[in-house]
Amino acid sequence: MKPTFHANPVNGPFEDPCVYVRLLRERRSLLFDLGYIDRLDAGNIVKITDVFVTHTHMDHFMGFDTLLRSLLKRDTPLRVFGPENIIECIEGKLKGYTWNLIKDYPLKIEAFGIGDNFLSHACFYAQNSFIRKDMPYYPFDGIIVEDPLFVVKGLVLSHQIPVVVYSMEEEFHININKAILAEMGLPVGPWLSDFKKTLRQQNQKEKTFEVNNRIFTLRELMRIATITRGQKIAYVMDVAPTDENIERLIQFVKGSDTLFCEAYFLESDRNRAKERHHLTAALAGRIAKEAGVGNLIIMHLSPKYRHCVEELYNEAMREFKG
Ligand SMILES: [Zn+2]
Ligand SMILES: [Zn+2]
């Protein structure tokens, strides 16, 4: 099965956590968290259209300036999602610079703060010197972005302050069977993207397709497609190790193919983890196991374990697979 997206950590496990998601076949990427991102090359940074920030501690938000500088001349807007205070934090960052020569630049930033049952929304446009403009609220029922290819969901938990955990999933995945395509005498080409798009929209059953000067109905073409469950990833950073957080996390990340999860402390340092409002490696493993996750990637490890990093991996894997 050809995946729809690839998700990879940007930095090493002791550095700022950040996951770059490349949407294959689209010139577009998403980013989970916005700490140090200088390892991404400029070509990858300019493809970022949506950023999902867990919270605005420095290690999750200091890359905003790098991103902003790379995108100033871009026409495509940037959407930034985060906890309720994200709009104030973006406003504060933008107020840190002088924008008298920016009015001809095209960049538009749309910021969304995730509350319990609403999304607050503000815009910052270069043509308006990045002065904040508040927009009407949206109702929020867990879904943050609904795209034809995927859905991003968010859940607000606690890290002493509100922290948002995210998941990204395809509703279903469409595979094209090349053998049947060849048997029907049909070529591979851009028409297949159109065909897949129509399948996803589900309300265009009457649509026809012209291929090689012949007209096909959607039903006639169904033979070439196999529909399987879509990919799901989840991104969980900086969550206090409370029973309530853990129960809600298990439900939220259920069935993920890949879970990117913090494992800041060892279980033997659980008191420290409580004081600092972080998960332990054992908790990351337990969450992954109880949620039936396929693959657990631990990241955001405390630098104090640099000399014994394998203990963190072993502890997480023991709980997960053990
Ligand atoms: Zn952190
Ligand atoms: Zn934090």
Domain check: are 249 and 220 in the same one? no
Last residue of a domain, one of 146, 164, 188: 146
Is 152 within a domain? no
Q: Tell me: the pLDDT tens digits for 40-70?
A: 999 999 999 999 999 999 999 999 999 999 9
Query: Which one, of 37, 10, 35, lies nearest residue 21 by Cα?
Result: 10
If you measure from the C-alpha of residue 94 to the centroid of ligand 2, how many angstroms do you get, rounded to a whole number? 22
- What is the CA(246)–ligand 1 centre distance, in A? 18
How many alpha carbons fall within 13 Å on the CB side of residue 147? 17
pLDDT-derived band at 74 (thresholds 50, 70, 90) equals: very high
Residue 77 has pLDDT above 90, yes or no: yes
Q: What is the pLDDT of residue 1?
A: 62
Of 190, 186, 167, 170, the C-alpha closest to 178 is 186
CB atoms within 10 A of CB 259: 24
Give the predicted TM-score (pTM) of the model.
0.90
Q: Looking at the CA of 157, which ligand is closest?
A: 2
Instruction: Examine the domain organization and report whether 303 and 215 are in the same domain.
Output: no
- 211 lies in the same domain as 244: no
Whether residue 192 is found in the same domain as residue 118 = no
Q: Which of 180, 207, 229 is the last residue of a domain?
A: 229
Alpha carbon distance 322, 320 (integer Å): 6
Q: What is the mean pLDDT of residues 119-142?
A: 96
149: confidence class by pLDDT, cuts 50, 70, 90: confident
Q: For the residues 130-153, what does the mean pLDDT come to? A: 94
Evaluate whether residue 164 is within a structural domain: no
In this prediction, residue 174 has a pLDDT band, given cuts at 50, 70 and 90, of: confident
Tell me, yes or no, whether 34 and 98 share the same domain. Answer: yes
- Count CB atoms within 10 A of the CB of residue 216: 18
Cα 58 to ligand 2 centre (Å): 8
- Number of folded domains that form the chain: 3
How many A from CA of 17 to the centre of ligand 1?
7
Residue 234 inside a domain? The answer is no
Domain that holds residue 91: 1-146
